[in-house]
Amino acid sequence: MSGKTIAGEKVRILISACLTGEKVRYDGSDVEVDQALLEKISDQSVMIPCCPEMAGGLPVPRSPAEIRTDGEETGGKAVLAGIARVKTAQDVDVTEEFSKGAELALQVCQENGVQVAILTERSPSCGVTMIYDGTFSGAKISGVGVTTALLKENGVQVFSQNQLEDVLKHLTEL
């Protein structure tokens, strides 16, 4: 079904700007995705690109950052609870920027009636099922980024770029 609507309007989807080809990642790159699937989703929705890290005030390029905690609680939920911090490889605390970016992404969702987001896996902002472990060793752990945690807490259904088929299925169920 093309042009899937809710109450006569196309579904609005927040999408990580790096997934749309914008060069906004920490290293000035974007993320490759299955363009055919993304186009199918785009045909059925209005995509709203957002980079929470840039929205929070971080530049491109920027130092890579990971979520660090001393406790058992990890990931974006721990950052929102104040028990974990987002730090760069040089130990600069960028938690405030990541939190502000998450809040601004939520604001975009609320102002635009967004119920679905497609965010970038492994990112400390946008990780959906997996993030880096905070050691800058390349090790990954199960967890969510700061923006994903906040969006989920507020009822937004969040998918990663690896779940585009699931997004299409979800759109047909709306």
- In whole angstroms, give the CA distance from residue 18 to residue 163: 16
Is residue 81's pLDDT more than 50? yes
Q: Kindly report the pTM of this predicted structure.
A: 0.94
Over residues 114-144, the pLDDT tens digits come to 999 999 999 999 999 999 999 999 999 999 9
Q: What would the DSSP string read from start to end of 12-71?
A: EEEEEGGGGT---STTS------HHHHHHHHHTEEEEEE-HHHHTT--SS---EEEE-SS
Give the model's confidence band at 45: pLDDT under 50 very low, under 70 low, under 90 confident, else very high. very high
Is residue 1's pLDDT more than 60? no
- Specify the 3-state DSSP secondary structure of 160: strand
What H or E segment, with its residue span, contains residue 167?
helix 164-173
Residue 8: the pLDDT is 64
